[in-house]
Amino acid sequence: MRIVLCCAGGLSTTMLMNSMKDTVHNSAKLNDADFDFIAIPIDILQSEADNCDVLVLGPQVAHKLDAVKPIIEPRKIPYVIVDQETYGKMDGATVMKQALIARRKADLKK
């Protein structure tokens, strides 16, 4: 599963991505080999969308959702908007759970 994390510049989201990687690595149920993560600035989402299974948006770019939807909806890519508290804590476990739930819901709609 490829999880694409977007923020304004891709820097702070890299910290969240690393926390998500640690969550997977330390999990008894999840396997590192099943996940691929990338943190990018939202401005280059179009170039990464074809290889995206779940999109994670940082709270600082949540207001750009209307611009993101035309990119992700035709591809049926589920998304998660991380709330400010979870983002501030760099709580990768919570975001990972949200991403897995979003992907599962999308799969059930197929």
Q: Which of 7, 45, 99, 102 is catalytic?
A: 7
Q: Active site includes 7? A: yes
CB 39 within 8 A of CB 7: yes
Helix/strand/coil percentages in the chain, nearest 5:
60, 15, 25
Q: Which residues are catalytic?
A: 7
